[in-house]
Amino acid sequence: MKFHDGATQFRLRLITSLLSHRPLLIRNIHADALETAPGLLPHEASFLRLLDSITNGTTVEINSTGTQLRFVPGVLVGGLVNLHKCPTTKSIGWFLEGILPLAPFGKEPLEIFFEGITDGMTHFDPSPDYIATAVLPLYRRFGVGKEEEEEGSPNIPQCRVIRRGAAPLGEGRVRFVCPIVREIEPIEFTDMGKFKRVRGNAISCKIAPNSAARVAYSAKGLLHKLLPDVWIHTDIHSMKHSKNVNGCGPSPGLGICLAAESTEGVVICVECSLDPNKARGEDLPEDLGTRGSALLLDEIRKGGCIDTSAQTFALLMMCLGPEDVARIRIGSLSRHSIVALRLFKEAFGVEFKVKTDVESKTIFMSCLGSGYRNMARAST
């Protein structure tokens, strides 16, 4: 039984508990929350329900105040989850990001329909668009869905937004599909190449139709100074579904997701959206577009083959790989990743070798995998 205090890296602790088959006890969960009631927050309780729906035999015990959680992991089964309603305190991407390391190791392929907020919000929650653009290509590098693609099967890793839903009311819909694997492949991802193009999507929900075009035009204005091949689509939605405009939730929203692609298949992705708490007119579409382009250029400046938001996912998948050397190049270790590395060492006994490339000011991360296998899938 592992003891932890506080709600820091709540999802990651539960994920490592399931993958390592070790019970977990978390105490003092938001115990010092004075403005709100102490204990589990709505999105944390919802994530526990999501884990329960894709596992069998998982036991969750919560005390009367909600400040202590005893978690006994069960068996990952996957399968179909018709609908998981996400509270509006977090984006759907927050829940998706939590189950991404678990999805390939179930008994059956995983298919989940989510309902909630589909944009990235403003407190660094990823959106489904970011996961589809930046994380799913990493899935394929680890061998997830590789067999399905070769056989032409439609059951490949995919994350598709069916209906947009902006903060704070949401009501968007997302479909996530992931096939299962026996074991993942070791990764060797160190060649950055040269960035050759930028693709993006400017999304507006229940807002002036020209707002998305203003965001795209502003973003291209900064990027065209460095690259000629920049293409940003406009995705316009309204409450009333028509022939030319898709439907969306009741809240107005505006956001942009940008991805830079290199000659070696590296995808660096960023996103940003309007803050729903700010007064109308305080944050202009032009400001949003410029901010998105600046964030993308800053990620490119850091270097590496994986952007900052996808670091923890990639490092965890490396820990689960076969007993062979896996290597990636990153720009700089985020604070979240540093704490995660300590957790991975405790859960899987995997230590990373960190080497700095002085010339490019990037970091090589390498490790020997723990040899994790999906025992529910028969070997062929």
**pLDDT tens, residue by residue, 48-93:** 999 999 999 999 999 988 899 999 999 999 999 989 999 988 999 9
DSSP state of 308: G
- Residue 16 belongs to a domain with what CATH number? 3.65.10.20
Together in a domain, 223 and 332: no
Label residue 292 exposed, middle or buried (CB < 10 Å: 0-12, 13-18, 19+).
buried
d(CA 59, CA 128): 29
pLDDT at 376 over 80: no
pLDDT at 375 over 90: no
pLDDT at 125: 83
Cα→Cα distances 181→9, 148, 330, 379, Å? 26, 10, 26, 10
Domain that residue 151 falls in? 2-178
27 assigned to some structural domain = yes
Closest Cα partner for 61 from 73, 43, 79, 78? 73
Number of domains within the chain: 3
Label residue 158 exposed, middle or buried (CB < 10 Å: 0-12, 13-18, 19+).
middle
Q: pLDDT confidence of 24, banded at 50, 70, 90? A: very high
- Residue 289 belongs to a domain with what CATH number? 3.30.360.20
Question: CA 100 from chain center: how many Å?
Answer: 7
380 assigned to some structural domain = no
Together in a domain, 136 and 117: yes
Together in a domain, 126 and 92: yes
Mean local confidence (pLDDT), 368-379:
81
Residues 208, 209, 214: CA angle, nearest 5 degrees: 90
Looking at per-residue pLDDT, the higher value among 185 and 149 belongs to: 185
pLDDT at 36 over 90: no
pLDDT at 34: 59
User: Is the torsion defined by CA of 180, 150, 318, 363 positive or negative?
Assistant: negative
Residue type, 43: H
pLDDT at 230 over 90: yes
Together in a domain, 317 and 173: no
Q: What is the pLDDT of residues 256-299, one digit of tens each?
A: 999 999 999 999 999 998 876 665 667 789 999 999 999 999 99
pLDDT at 249 over 70: yes
Together in a domain, 116 and 203: no
- Residue 352 belongs to a domain with what CATH number? 3.30.1370
Residues 209, 212, 214: CA angle, nearest 5 degrees: 105
pLDDT at 357 over 80: yes
Mean local confidence (pLDDT), 2-8:
72
Beta strands in the chain (DSSP E): 2-5, 24-27, 55-56, 59-62, 69-72, 75-76, 78-85, 108-116, 158-163, 172-178, 188-189, 195-205, 230-238, 246-247, 253-262, 267-273, 325-330, 353-357, 362-368
Looking at per-residue pLDDT, the higher value among 146 and 97 belongs to: 97
pLDDT at 242 over 50: no
pLDDT at 213: 94
By mean pLDDT, which of 19-33, 110-124, 296-310, 341-355 is the weakest? 110-124
Together in a domain, 281 and 310: no
Together in a domain, 266 and 119: no
pTM for this entry: 0.92
Together in a domain, 54 and 173: yes
pLDDT at 38 over 90: no
Together in a domain, 150 and 19: yes
91 assigned to some structural domain = yes
Together in a domain, 146 and 27: yes
Q: What is the pLDDT of residues 166-209, one digit of tens each?
A: 888 888 999 999 999 999 999 999 999 999 999 999 999 888 88
98 assigned to some structural domain = yes
Together in a domain, 171 and 25: yes
Together in a domain, 118 and 240: no
The answer to whether 122 touches 66, Cβ cutoff 8 Å, is: no
Mean local confidence (pLDDT), 151-172:
84
Looking at per-residue pLDDT, the higher value among 153 and 26 belongs to: 26
Q: Which of 178, 203, 230 is the last residue in one of the domains?
A: 178
d(CA 201, CA 271): 10
Q: pLDDT confidence of 243, banded at 50, 70, 90? A: very low
pLDDT at 380 over 50: no
